Chain A
C-alpha cells in the first residue's frame, strides 16, 4: 500500500510540475514576439487585415488562458494539436523522440561504463598516481562546455580526419560523436561521485567485517561496498537526467541531430507555440518520470526505505 501511495503522490507531483512548466513556457514565449509578424517578415505589402486574418486562423486572437486550456486539452487527448507551420505535432515528436532517447541512453551508458570502474579504481588507490590522474582528467572534463567539446570533435574527427559524419543521423556511426560528447561531460561528474561514495562505504564498519570474514577484495568491494554506494549513485543519476536533457538540447543543435532538442529550438525560432509547448511538456514529464523510476529502484536496492 505505501508503494501505491508513493506512486500516486509522484504522479500528482508530475502533473503539477507539467502544469507549471507549460504555463510558464506558454506565457514566456508569447512575450518574445508575434508569429504573424514573423510569418510575414519577408513580404512587403502586409496590411493590418492580413495580420488579423493570420492571428485568427492560428487562434492567437483568443485570450491567453483560452489558448492555454486548448493546449492542455490537446495534451490530455494525446493528439497534441497542429503546429503553426509543420503539420501534426504528434507526428513531429514521434520522429524526434526515438533519436533523442537513443542519444540519451547511449551517452548515459557511456558515462556509466567509464565512471563506475574509474571511480572505484580511484577510491581503492586513494592518493596514488592513478587516482590523481583520474581526478585531474575529471576536472578537465568538468571544465569543458559541451558545445565546445562537440565542435572540437567535429573539427578533429569529421573534418581533419573524416572518420565520423559531422551532423545528422543517416548512419549509426553518426551517433558516436554526439553520444561521446555528452557521455564525457557526464562521466566527469560521475567519476567524482562514484569515488566519494566508494570511499565512504569502504570505510564503513561492515566492510571491515566483510574482510574479517575472509572474503576476497573483489567480493568486499563489488558486493559489500558497491551495493551500498549504488544507493547514492542511482539517486544522483536520476537528478542528473535533467542536466542530461539540458545538455542534449545544445549538443543536438551542434550535431544537427534530429531530436527533441533540435525540434524545440526550431519551435522557439519560429514562435511555433503549439510545437514548443508540446516538446517542453514532454521533456518535463520525462524528467519527472525518470525521477519516479529512480525512487522506485532506490526502494529495491535499499531495504531500509521499503516500508514494512
Chain B
C-alpha cells in the first residue's frame, strides 16, 4: 500500500499533510502541506498560535477528522503499528483498523480537563472501558490496572478515586486522570494537545513532570501541542512551528528555539515573557516587538509618589457561605479573602498574583462592590467607601473600572462597539449629546490603537486581541483613576498579549492610571508591575516591590510560583521538584477559622508571612 517506508528511528512520518474543511467556494485549508517525523521515545512539539492548524493535525493522526467534517485531501502518515503487525499509512486505514490503534497505540490528552471526562460515569468505569476494549481485561483486572495507573500519576487516594465522578475532582486531578487513562494501554504515541493551558502554573509544572517521567519509563513518543514556548523548551526534542496552516520551521529544539532562522519564529520568541529577564531593574519595561521601535523612556521614567495612595484596603475580609443540611443552614464558609490589606498609589501597577482559588479575583470584585465584604475598610483618597451614601459610592464605582479575562464574553454581541464603549459614560452622565458621545468613542478607539471608523462594527468582527483593546477602551470611558485587570491578557496569544500589555503600560504612563493587575502569570507580572502582592488561600503572604519579590522571594509559595514558570532555555530540563500533594481548599467549616497571618518586615516595603511559611513549607517545597 505504502510506497515509502519509515526510517528505523522514526515511529511516525507525516508527509505533505493537507486538510480541508467545507466544500466548493467555501473550502478552507486548515493544514497545508505539512510534514514532520516523530522519533521513537522522543517528543515532538508542534507550536503555533490559535488557528495555526496544530490541533487539527493531531486529530488527523487519530483519524477523527470526519467528526469535525474535515478531510485529508493529500499526504500520508506512515506509522509502525504493532497491533496490525505492519507499517501502515494512517490515511488509508479502515475505520475498524483505526479503532484498534486509537486509544491503544496512539492515545490523546485534550486541552480542557474540565470537559474531557464524561460527567455521568465514574473514573473507574471510564478507565476500565479502555482497558476492556483494547486488552480484553475483566472488570476486576481492569480495576486493578486502572488503580496502578492512577497511582502512577500520583493521585492521592487512588482507590477511592475509582468510584468518584469527574465533578468531584479539581482540574489538575482530572488532567492527571486523563493522562492515566491515555497511558493505561501503554501507547506508542501520546498526543498531548495543550494539556496544561487551562491549569495553574504549579499544577502545570506537576503535570509536565509526570508526562516526562512516564515517557522515560514507558518509552512513549510524545506529540506535544502548545502555544507556550517555555513549556515547549522544557518538553521537546524536536519542534515544528506552524503559522496559518503552514509549516514555518522545523528542527531540534536547540536549533528552532536557540537560533531560529525564520522571522515568524523569531517574533514568536521575542514576545515570550522570560522570567528573570529584568533582574536588576526597578521600573516596568515594554515588550520588544520586532518591526516596532519603541522608546521605553516614558514608561521607565514615571516616578511614583508613594505618599498618598489612591486606594487602601484595610483588613478586608470576604467570605462566601456554603449551605447544607436539613435546615439549609450555613455549614461551611469559603474564606475567599481574609484580612487583606494593601495600598495602590497613583500611576502604579500592583500585581495581585496567586492561583485559582487564592482569592485574588474576590479582592477585585470586592473593590468593584460586586460582592460585599464581611469586615474591613476600603478608602479611596482617604474616604471610607463603605460608610458613604449610595450616590458617592456610585461616583467611586466610576473611578474604578474592570477589564475581564474573556474578551469574547464581556462585550454585548448585539450592540455596536461604539454603543458598548459609550454606555458606561452615559450611565455616569459624562456625555450628554450624541456628538459628544461620538467624539468620545472616536477618541477612545484611537487611544487603544484602533481606527475610529470601527465604532459601527460589531464585536464578532474583531479578533481576540482587538476585543481586549475594546474592553480597555470601555474601561477608559469614565476617565477612571484605577483599572482592575482580572487575568486581562491570559486568554491571548503571546504576540497579542505582548501588544496589549504594552498598550496598558503606555496608557498608564500617559494618563497616570493605577492598575490592580490580577493574574497567575508571573512572567507578565515581571514586565508590567511596580509592586507585587502574593495571595495564598485567601491571604496575602508576601508583598513588596517587583524587584524584591522576584529577586529575593521569602515565602515558599512565592518561590514555588516563580520556579514553576517554564523557562525558555532549549535543551535544559528543569530540576525543580514536583509539587507533592494538593493545595488545601479555602473552604472551612463554620467556627473553624483560619489562622491569620502576621506579615513581618524583610526590608523597606517588603513583608512576608513568616509563620505561614513554616506551616506550608512541607506542602510547598
Binds A, one of B117-125, B290-298, B396-404, B515-523: B117-125
Interface residues of B in 56-88 (CB under 8 A from A): 59, 62, 64, 67
A-facing mask of B98-136, CB < 8 A → 1, else 0?
A: 011111100110101001111111100000011001100
B595 beta carbon closer than 8 Å to chain A: no
Q: Are A228 and B119 in contact (CB under 8 A)?
A: yes
Partner of B102, one of A2, A212, A228, A308: A212
Asked whether A205 lies within 8 Å of B115 as measured between CB atoms, the reply is yes
Task: Mark out the residues of chain A between 25 and 51 whose CB falls within 8 Å of any chain B CB in the assembled complex.
Answer: none
- Cβ-defined contact, B119 with A212, below 8 A: no
B575 sits at the interface (CB 8 A): no
Residues of B within 8 A of A2 (CB): 324
State the CA gap A1–B328 with chains docked (Å). Answer: 12
Q: Cβ of B320 < 8 Å from any Cβ of A? A: no
Query: What CA separation (Å) do A148 and B108 show in the bound complex?
Result: 55
The answer to whether B601 has its CB under 8 Å from any CB of chain A is: no
Interface: A204 (CB within 8 A): yes
> Are B112 and A214 in touch, CB under 8 angstroms?
no
| A205 and chain B: residue at smallest CB distance | B115
Taking CB as reference atom, which chain A residue is nearest B120? A227
Report which residue of A2, A212, A228, A303 has the largest number of chain B beta carbons within 10 angstroms of its beta carbon.
Answer: A212
B326 within 8 A of A: yes
Give Cα distance in the complex from A208 to B107, angstroms.
12
Q: Which of A5, A216, A303 contacts B120 (CB 8 A)?
A: A303
Of listed A5, A208, A227, residue having the most chain B CB within 10 A? A208
In the complex, A214→B104 CA distance in Å? 7
Which of A206, A227, A301 is the one whose CB lies under 8 Å from B117?
A206
The verdict on B167 contacting chain A, using a C-beta distance below 8 Å, is yes
- A10 touches B (CB below 8 Å): no
Q: Do the beta carbons of A209 and B119 come within 8 Å of each other?
A: no
Interface centre among A228, A301, A303, A308, by most B CB within 10 Å? Answer: A303
Residues of B within 8 A of A90 (CB): none
Instruction: Determine the distance from Cα of A75 to Cα of B483 in the docked complex, in whole angstroms.
Output: 64
| Nearest Cβ on chain A to B451's Cβ, whole angstroms | 36
**Inter-subunit contact B130/A213 (CB<8 Å):** yes
A302 interface hit (Cβ, 8 Å): yes
CB <8 Å contact, A213 and B102: yes
B168 at the interface (CB under 8 A from A): yes
> Is B67 a contact partner of A209 (Cβ separation < 8 A)?
no
Report the separation of the CA atoms of residues A214 and B120 in the bound assembly, to the nearest whole angstrom.
Answer: 19
List of A residues within 8 angstroms of B167 by Cβ? 303-304
Closest chain-A Cβ to B268's Cβ sits at a distance in Å of: 27
Q: Which residue of B lies closest to A1 (CB)?
A: B326
Cβ-Cβ contact count across A and B, 8 Å cutoff: 81
Please pick, from A4, A206, A211, A216, the residue contacting B119 in the complex, using a CB distance under 8 A: A206
Q: Contacts A5-B326, A213-B133, A303-B167: A206 and B116 contacting too (C-beta < 8 A)?
A: yes
Contact B116 A205 (CB under 8 A): yes
Q: Which residues does chain A contribute within 8 Å of B181, judged by CB atoms?
A: 213
- Known contacts A206-B119, A209-B116, A303-B120; is A214 also within 8 Å of B133 by CB? yes
Q: Known contacts A214-B103, A308-B168; is A209 also within 8 Å of B120 by CB?
A: no
- With a CB–CB cut-off of 8 A, which chain A residues contact B102? 211-214
Contact check, A208 vs B103: say whether CB atoms are below 8 A apart.
Answer: no
- The residue that B64 contacts in the complex, of A1, A204, A208, with Cβ under 8 A, is A208
- Say yes or no for B280: interface residue by CB 8 A criterion: no
B380 contacts chain A at the CB level, 8 A cutoff: no
Contact between chains at B117 and A216 (CB < 8 Å): no
Interface check A210, CB cutoff 8 A:
yes
CA distance A219 to B108 in the complex (A): 18
Rounded to whole Å, the gap between the CB of B99 and the closest CB of chain A is 5
**Does A215 belong to the interface (CB within 8 Å)?**
yes
Contact of A208 with B99 at beta-carbon distance under 8 Å, contacts A215-B129, A303-B120 already known = no
Query: Contacts A205-B110, A208-B67, A303-B167 hold; do A213 and B118 have CB atoms under 8 A apart?
Result: no
Alpha-carbon distance between A259 and B62 when the two chains are bound, in angstroms: 58
Our pick among B108, B121, B168, B325 for the contact of A212 (Cβ within 8 Å) is B108
Q: Which of B112, B120, B130 contacts A301 (CB 8 A)?
A: B120
Residues of B within 8 A of A308 (CB): 168
Which residues does chain A contribute within 8 Å of B129, judged by CB atoms? 213, 215, 219
Residue of A nearest to B327 (CB): A5
| Interface contact A212-B103, CB-CB below 8 Å | yes
* Chain A residue at minimum C-beta to C-beta distance from B99: A214
> Could you say which of B64, B101, B116, B326 contacts A211, with CB atoms under 8 Å apart?
B64
Quick one: CB contact mask for A214-250 with B, threshold 8 Å, 1 for yes? Answer: 1110010000100110010000000000000000000
B458 within 8 A of A: no
In the complex, chain A residues 1-17 whose Cβ is within 8 Å of any chain B Cβ:
1-2, 4-5
Do A1 and B110 contact each other (CB < 8 Å), given the known contacts A208-B67, A213-B103?
no
* B462 close to chain A: CB less than 8 A: no
Residues of A within 8 Å of B110, CB to CB, are 205, 208-209, 212
Tell me if A228 and B118 are in contact (CB < 8 A).
Answer: yes
Interface centre among A5, A214, A231, A308 (most CB of B within 10 A): A214
Indicate whether A228 sits within 8 Å of B120 (C-beta atoms), given known contacts A211-B64, A211-B67, A212-B103: yes
Residues of A contacting B122 in the complex (Cβ-Cβ under 8 angstroms): 303
Across the interface, name the chain B residue whose C-beta is closest to A302. Answer: B120
Which residues from 508 to 554 on chain B have a C-beta closer than 8 Å to any C-beta of chain A? none
B112 and A212 within 8 A (CB): no
Contact at B118–A206, with CB atoms within 8 Å?
yes
Across-interface contacts of A213 in B (CB, < 8 A): 102-103, 107, 129-130, 133, 181
B426 interfacial by beta-carbon distance below 8 Å: no
B21 within 8 Å of A (CB atoms): no
B197 CB, min distance to chain A CBs, angstroms = 14
**Closest CB in chain B relative to A180 CB, distance in Å:** 33
B386 within 8 A of partner (CB): no
Kindly state whether residue B165 has any CB partner on chain A within 8 Å.
Answer: yes
Q: Are A209 and B117 in contact (CB under 8 A)?
A: yes
Q: How far is the CA of A91 from the CA of B76 in the complex (A)?
A: 77
Q: How far is the CB of B63 from chain A (nearest CB, A)?
A: 9
Instruction: For the complex, give the distance between the alpha carbons of A11 and B326 in Å.
Output: 16
CB distance from B66 to the nearest CB of A (A): 10
Q: How far is the CB of B612 from chain A (nearest CB, A)?
A: 30
Please determine whether A303 and B119 come into contact, CB atoms closer than 8 angstroms.
yes
How far, in whole Å, are A301 and B326 apart by their CA atoms in the complex? 23
Q: Which residues in A have some Cβ–Cβ distance to B below 8 Å?
A: 1-2, 4-5, 204-206, 208-216, 219, 224, 227-228, 231, 301-304, 307-308
Q: What are some 12 contacts across the A-B interface (CB < 8 A)? A: A2-B324, A5-B326, A208-B59, A212-B103, A212-B107, A213-B103, A213-B107, A214-B130, A215-B99, A216-B99, A231-B120, A302-B119
> Chain B: residues with CB nearer than 8 A to chain A?
59, 62, 64, 67, 99-104, 107-108, 110, 112, 115-122, 129-130, 133-134, 165, 167-168, 178, 181, 324-326
Known: A206-B117, A211-B67, A228-B120. 7 other contacts (CB 8 A): A1-B325, A206-B118, A208-B64, A211-B64, A224-B118, A302-B119, A303-B165
Q: Which 4 A-B pairs have the closest CB atoms?
A: A214-B103, A213-B103, A214-B102, A205-B115
